[in-house]
Amino acid sequence: MRTVAKLVRWEWFKLRRRWLPWILLGFLLLFSQMAVWIGFFSYNSLRSSGGQVLVSDVAQAPDSRGQFRRVSCSTLRTDGTDALPADSSPDVMQGLLAQCQQQAEQQETLLQQGYDGFTLPGSLLAAFGIASSIGLILLTVLTASAIGSDYGLGTMRPILARGTGRLPYLTGKFLMLLAAALGALGVVGAVTVLSSLIAVGIAEAPPGVASEPSDWSDAAAAFVRTWASFIPYIAFTGMVAVLTRSAAAGMAVGLSYYFAESLLGALLGGLFSWFSTVGDFLLIRNINALAGGFNIGSGGDSSGSDIGLVQAAAALTVYTVMLTGIAIRSFQKRDVAGASG
Amino acid sequence: MSTTDNGILEIVLEINNLTKYYGPVVAVEGLSLQIARGGVFGLLGPNGSGKTTTIGMVLGLVNPTRGSMRLFGQDVSGTTHRSALRRIGAMVESPAFYPYLSGRDNLRYFQGIGKGDGPQEVDQLLDLVDLSHRADSKYHTYSMGMKQRLGIAYAMLGDPELVFLDEPTNGLDPSGVAEVRDLIRRLGANGRTVVLSSHLLFEVEQVCDSVAILSRVRLITQGKVRDLLAQQDGVRLKATDQEEAQRILGTLKWVSGVRIENGYLVPEVPPERSGDLTKALSEQGVYVTEMSPVQISLERFFLEVTDDQVTSTLTEGVRS
């Protein structure tokens, strides 16, 4: 255990001196913060307009031949009759304000939902949701690179020749990647908190409280579920990198499978009815179900469609054990050659 | 070489019937050898003779097909192999490091994952291989010579008792080769054992105390370089009548053979019998006009013991 802990520490020493993990983290932050700021701008747009009404450019138009223009409700409230043509009767103003009130009542819910999306703790749910999808792609690249590069550079030999041991070496790699994923999600969480505080400072709160805000426990659960959903895919990409002894192959297979599963799943599901049952046990579908987010590779198949959390967790545990087992067994049995370029 | 308190030669590595097959290809066949503590031991053989595979098996990088090993007197298996490896340093084939780390950080990393004595040791090793001035440059900016020297520094991490250096002078210029040879001689002092694997005969002869010669995946011979070459020492001579001298020498029972090299007669006799040679010839009316000792080089010895069918793959290396 001490050896593994030491290896994790020194793997991190090595990893943090590379550009790759920081670039990947940059992408992760970029995409996750989009959740906060797109929500912020949508909310502001909705709020500032406050609804619109059609106003005629002439006071009396019995034959309806006059021109109409759109006036925002907020302008109508601010400018009052100045926003209307001269000599407009007070009834027109009353009628337009009534229309605005009606719109405001419908918007209240939308505004509240939008506000919850970029304020804490709802913003964390949105950020982790995106991170669960993008993070899987980025972790595929990182895992394949972390394991495959030792084959490519020929550094596997000097590492193992130090008496490191094959099992501790591979365990150390996997644990370091899990720790890196945990750290990256932590950074996403921290930056999201910061973003939310800034956004809340700028934005005005919506009138009234129409919906129930997310609970902090939901955010914590999203964090844990997102991180846990990374584990089987780290095992999968790691296994491919070990079997092929190549970072490039690890990335190619990892990314291809990510997108191919939903396409092939949909195709085969359409052709064979029995495949829908098999499909419930496929890797990415279960990862989506566990993460509770929306994954690009799912082709719009929202999480947890018909796979329960318990089933997803069980299936992914089996996947993780099986994939890690294959990787370890293969790694222990094989001879270690020099650099493969 | 070091001995135990009982005066017995201490064996640091013992290999018994070690064999490695890659499918139908035989990489090493029934190799058995012993390496005693202290000094520089040469593992000599042409490319493809099984040197690197043998080192790979000792280091646990290559799984033997059959055979056994003892390291520092202990049978090698699983955990004991790992603990034994912590007493071993090795540079196998070309040095391999992380290009995005500096030389210092590479050593710190390998020190961290193995047995090491802190940053001071890294500084000392960088000094030893004359890399202190470039210690903080990225590895990918190093010249071939600097990479080789960093590889030697890596092999010395943790002050190992047994050091394997596989072709350490590959790609070095003549001055670099001389420096590395000098360094290897120094490393082999103070009870440490250095196993130098090389296909450069001159290099091995210059540096090693003992040698094992591998050819076509088998061990041909093993022993102290001095003893092996002494077996082949002799004399060469010119006489007043070369043809008659050759005939006379050929009739002597204690001369196992006579050959002509560069106009000299080279009888196969130990040098201490040169007096008997001149006496035998003069008794037949043939007189020696010139006589000098012949010292065989390791290269010549190698060619003789390997039946010189592998000569085309051998190079003499840089004689410096």
Task: Show me where the domains of chain B are located.
Answer: 11-87+161-228, 233-295
Average pLDDT estimate for A33-42: 87
Please indicate whether, in this complex, the C-beta atoms of B96 and A158 are within 8 angstroms of each other: yes
Query: Any CB–CB contact under 8 A between A175 and chain B?
Result: no
The nearest alpha carbon in chain A to B108 belongs to A10
pLDDT for res B122? 94
Which positions in chain B touch A336 (Cβ < 8 Å)?
Answer: 56, 61-62
CATH topology of domain B11-87+161-228: Rossmann fold (3.40.50)
From A166's Cα to the closest Cα of chain B, the distance in A is 10
pLDDT for res B46? 81
CB A227 within 8 A of CB A290: no
Q: Output b/e per residue, B43-71; b: 16+ Cβ within 10 A.
A: bbbbebbbbbbbbbbbbbbbebeebebbb
pLDDT level of residue A79 (50, 70, 90 thresholds): low
pLDDT level of residue B312 (50, 70, 90 thresholds): very low
DSSP string, A224-255: HHHHHHHHHHHHHHHHHHHHHT-HHHHHHHHH
Interface with chain A: mutation pick from B20, B51, B61, B111, highest number of A CBs within 10 Å: B61
CB A237 within 8 A of CB A254: yes
Share of chain A above pLDDT 90, in %: 46
Contacts of residue A259, Cβ cutoff 8 Å, sequence gap at least 6: A296, A297
Please indicate whether, in this complex, the C-beta atoms of B96 and A154 are within 8 angstroms of each other: yes
From A121's Cα to the closest Cα of chain B, the distance in A is 40
pLDDT for res A201? 85
Average pLDDT estimate for A42-62: 70
Across chain A, mean pLDDT equals 84
In 10 A of CB B182, how many CB atoms? 12
Q: Is the pLDDT of residue B115 over 60?
A: yes
pLDDT for res A58? 65
pLDDT for res A328? 95
pLDDT for res A172? 95
Q: Is the pLDDT of residue B310 over 50?
A: no
pLDDT for res B320? 31
Give the span between the Cα atoms of A269 and B197, in whole angstroms: 60
Give the span between the Cα atoms of B59 and B35, in whole angstroms: 15
pLDDT for res B142? 93
Q: Output b/e per residue, A233-248; b: 16+ Cβ within 10 A.
A: bbbbbbbbbbbbbbbe
Q: What are the strands of the beta sheet with B88-91, ordered from one edge?
A: B88-91, B162-166, B193-198, B39-44, B210-215, B218-224
Q: Say how many CB pairs under 8 Å bridge A and B.
A: 85
Average pLDDT estimate for B68-91: 86
Average pLDDT estimate for B224-236: 76
pLDDT for res A64? 53
Structure tokens given for B2: 């070091």
Task: Read off the pLDDT of residues B127-176 as tens digits, 9 standing for 90 and up.
Answer: 988 899 999 999 999 998 899 999 999 999 999 999 999 888 887 888 88
From A237's Cα to the closest Cα of chain B, the distance in A is 22
Please indicate whether, in this complex, the C-beta atoms of A161 and B90 are within 8 angstroms of each other: yes
The nearest alpha carbon in chain A to B83 belongs to A163
Predicted TM-score of the model (pTM): 0.79
H-helix or E-strand containing A70? strand A68-72
Q: Is the pLDDT of residue A198 over 70?
A: yes
Peptide bond into A121 cis (omega under 30): yes
From B80's Cα to the closest Cα of chain A, the distance in A is 10
Q: Is the pLDDT of residue A250 over 70?
A: yes
Q: Which region holds residue B48: left if phi is over 0, alpha if psi is between -120 and 50, else beta?
A: left
Nearest to B119 by CA among B140, B135, B137: B135
Q: What is the 3-state secondary structure (H, E, C) of chain B?
A: CCECCCCCECEEEEEEEEEEEECCEEEEEEEEEEEECCEEEEEECCCCCCHHHHHHHHCCCCCCCEEEEEECCEECCHHHHHHHHCCEEEECCCCCCCCCCEHHHHHHHHHHHCCCCCHHHHHHHHHHCCCHHHCCCEHHHCCHHHHHHHHHHHHCCCCCCEEEEECCCCCCCHHHHHHHHHHHHHHCCCCCEEEEEECEHHHHHHHCCEEEEEECCEEEEEEEHHHHHHCCCEEEEEECCHHHHHHHHHHCCCCCCEEEECCEEEECCCHHHHHHHHHHHHHCCCCEEEEEEECCCHHHHHHHHCCCCCHHHCECCCCC
The nearest alpha carbon in chain B to A146 belongs to B98
The nearest alpha carbon in chain A to B56 belongs to A336
Greatest mean pLDDT among A25-34, A216-225, B193-202: A25-34
Instruction: Provide the angle, in degrees to the nearest 10, between the axes of the packed helices A216-244 and A247-271.
Output: 110
Q: Between B108 and A73, where is the model more confident?
A: B108
pLDDT level of residue A214 (50, 70, 90 thresholds): low
Give the span between the Cα atoms of A223 and A293, in whole angstroms: 11
pLDDT for res B57? 92
Given CATH 1.10.10.60, say whether it is the number of domain B233-295: no
pLDDT level of residue A28 (50, 70, 90 thresholds): very high
Nearest neighbour of A161 by CB, restricted to B83, B85, B108: B85
Query: Any CB–CB contact under 8 A between A10 and chain B?
Result: yes
Q: Is the pLDDT of residue B4 over 60?
A: no
End-to-end CA distance of chain B: 26
User: Of A187-201, A286-300, B283-297, which range is least confident?
Assistant: A286-300
Please indicate whether, in this complex, the C-beta atoms of A336 and B83 are within 8 angstroms of each other: no
- Amino acid identity of A330? S
Contacts of residue A187, Cβ cutoff 8 Å, sequence gap at least 6: A25, A29
pLDDT for res A177? 96
Nearest neighbour of B113 by CB, restricted to A7, A19, A338: A7
pLDDT for res A300? 41
pLDDT level of residue A294 (50, 70, 90 thresholds): very low
Average pLDDT estimate for A14-39: 93
Which positions in chain A touch B77 (Cβ < 8 Å)?
Answer: none
End-to-end CA distance of chain A: 32
Q: Is the pLDDT of residue A302 over 60?
A: no
Q: Between B227 and B63, where is the model more confident?
A: B63
CB A196 within 8 A of CB A123: yes
Please indicate whether, in this complex, the C-beta atoms of B96 and A13 are within 8 angstroms of each other: no
From B153's Cα to the closest Cα of chain A, the distance in A is 12
Q: Is the pLDDT of residue A101 over 90?
A: no
Interface with chain B: mutation pick from A162, A164, A170, A334, highest number of B CBs within 10 Å: A162
Task: Read off the pLDDT of residues A135-158 as tens digits, 9 standing for 90 and up.
Answer: 999 999 999 999 999 999 999 999
pLDDT for res B157? 92
Which positions in chain B touch A158 (Cβ < 8 Å)?
Answer: 90-92, 96-97, 110, 154
Nearest to B233 by CA among B292, B293, B288, B278: B293
Beta strands in A11-66 (DSSP E): 52-56
Please state whether beta strands B288-294 and B88-91 pair in parallel, antiparallel, or not at all (unpaired). unpaired
The nearest alpha carbon in chain B to A336 belongs to B61
pLDDT for res A301? 45
Q: Is the pLDDT of residue A9 over 90?
A: yes
pLDDT for res A297? 44
From B21's Cα to the closest Cα of chain A, the distance in A is 11
pLDDT level of residue B315 (50, 70, 90 thresholds): very low
- The CB-side HSE value for B280 (13 A sphere, CA atoms) comes to 18
Give the span between the Cα atoms of B115 and B133, in whole angstroms: 25
Give the span between the Cα atoms of B169 and B93, in whole angstroms: 10
